[in-house]
Structure 1
């Protein structure tokens, strides 16, 4: 995807407001899958939340959110947090977390905030929240939010495994011998790609020693972060490799091929394999 097209998609999504309808976006950009558009939207929304994080997490703002919730809930209003999230342009799950944490602080005899794992557990299982009205409001936010929250984390984790398994099947179909992350860690490596090829291959004229699976869209921010925290580390340890962004990427980011990092949005169709018999045993 050309950067100019990517920016058009971002502009259109932002014009639709906080409740972006991906099917509406797909009508204007039918050449891209819902998964691709969804990943682009998710990444852009997360960047927005990071930029506005300080506004919503200010103590006075949290007190205001809680007071509004408590007053409206006492008057029998429903979906208070969900409506408030749209009004203040904050993720429903993040707002629910803020309000729940403040509620627990007020309920604690010493005014201490709850442990992080306790708060996370309550968000995962809202039946553990003693206040039934708050429990229902938090549950509604968690199941409605498609960007943040424990439900979304589980889904993303599952999708990541799904595409890693897809890549593993492709490697086996191509008769490529590999080591996976667990096997590499057992050998003492700390930062590891998804698959390290035991016998290198050539893709588009470039040697590939490892392949990384990313079940996401490769935009500027995420790719630069991955380069810094993962890809160059893999390159230092194992040499040149291939990154597959299954939901696409900005074309202009594929600039490190000569340095040893290729980008693709699919498993390579033309792979030149080395004859194992020509490899000198180490």
Structure 2
């Protein structure tokens, strides 16, 4: 779904007053019923991550981390069955998964038999049965389940969705009988930065020649698109020529401003692909699918 900058800003303005919860997502859907739910979820997740990055330093000072741990410890002693960590995260406007990480790390610092490292913490967040304290394990698990923007569960979902859309794009290319090389094949050839697919024979989309296609299972907002341009898309353009980026969950309409320079944006697989096909009778002819 392609949104104007004004439509996008209206959605973002509403998101700023919401907390990171599934209840907030329901409010967002009710407020913008005509918008795709996948688009709204993607925008919500992106905006919440931006907020967490802006406030990260406030929550990760030694004083703040110790305060959170002591508040957790005190409350859980009063009622271990209550969702203490989840409530604490909501009180201080912090992602539940990030709060769980902070408290878990502080807990492990008191455990002389357990080394405190990112590897250990990540493994415990993925599998809470590894946490030596059963109460804390349950609290961390609740945070993981109730966080719709951060944590190992969200990471797995995002990875699966990304892979699903790459598979969908591959099926579309095969359906249109387009010859292509995939990312793994290109890496085997020694390329370091590669798009998802390179077309062995270029095609035309809306009058623009396309040599490569990149799949993004997200919404294309200003900050993410700017980062992708700098870190990926212009590198692809420099190596392989003009290309197409598919933001499956939509993008801000005004960002599609580099067509003349060779980067085209779409929110779905194009329906008007024109290919060059050899026929047994002679010359190369354009074929519209």
- TM-score normalised over the length of structure 2: 0.93
Tell me which of 13, 21, 26 is aligned to 2:15: 13
Matches within 5 A, 1:6-155: 6-19=8-21, 21-77=24-80, 78-108=82-112, 114-155=116-157
Q: How many residues align?
A: 277
Q: Distance in 2 between matches of 1:184 and 1:243?
A: 18
Q: Secondary structure at the match of 1:193?
A: coil
Q: Distance in 1 between matches of 2:26 and 2:227?
A: 29
Q: Give the 4+ runs in structure 1 shifted more than 6 A.
A: none
Aligned 8 A contact 1:215 1:247 in 2: yes
Name structure 1 gaps, 5 residues minimum: none
Q: Secondary structure at the match of 2:213?
A: strand
Higher relative contact order (CA 8 A, sep 6+): 2
Task: Identify the residue that residue 171 of structure 2 maps to in structure 1.
Answer: 169
Q: Distance in 2 between matches of 1:16 and 1:93?
A: 17
Q: Distance in 1 between matches of 2:124 and 2:151?
A: 11
Aligned 8 A contact 1:13 1:41 in 2: yes
Q: Secondary structure at the match of 1:218?
A: coil
CA shift, 1:116, in A, is 1.0
Q: Distance in 1 between matches of 2:252 and 2:111?
A: 48
Matches within 5 A, 1:115-264: 115-264=117-266
Aligned 8 A contact 1:199 1:276 in 2: no
Q: Distance in 1 between matches of 2:278 and 2:163?
A: 29
Q: Distance in 2 between matches of 1:44 and 1:24?
A: 16
CA shift, 1:13, in A, is 1.9
Task: Identify the residue that residue 287 of structure 2 maps to in structure 1.
Answer: none
Q: Distance in 1 between matches of 2:26 and 2:141?
A: 25
Q: Secondary structure at the match of 1:30?
A: coil
Name structure 2 gaps, 5 residues minimum: 285-289
Q: Distance in 2 between matches of 1:153 and 1:16?
A: 22
Q: Distance in 2 between matches of 1:156 and 1:50?
A: 19
Deviations 1:11-41 (A, max 9, x none): 1122334435323322332221111000000
Deviations 1:57-87 (A, max 9, x none): 0000000000001111112241111000000
Aligned 8 A contact 1:23 1:34 in 2: no
Q: Distance in 1 between matches of 2:117 and 2:226?
A: 33
- TM-score normalised over the length of structure 1: 0.95
Q: Distance in 1 between matches of 2:270 and 2:163?
A: 20
Q: Distance in 2 between matches of 1:123 and 1:18?
A: 19
CA shift, 1:113, in A, is 6.3
Aligned 8 A contact 1:22 1:34 in 2: no
Q: Secondary structure at the match of 1:275?
A: strand
Q: Distance in 1 between matches of 2:151 and 2:120?
A: 14
Aligned 8 A contact 1:101 1:113 in 2: no
CA shift, 1:209, in A, is 0.2
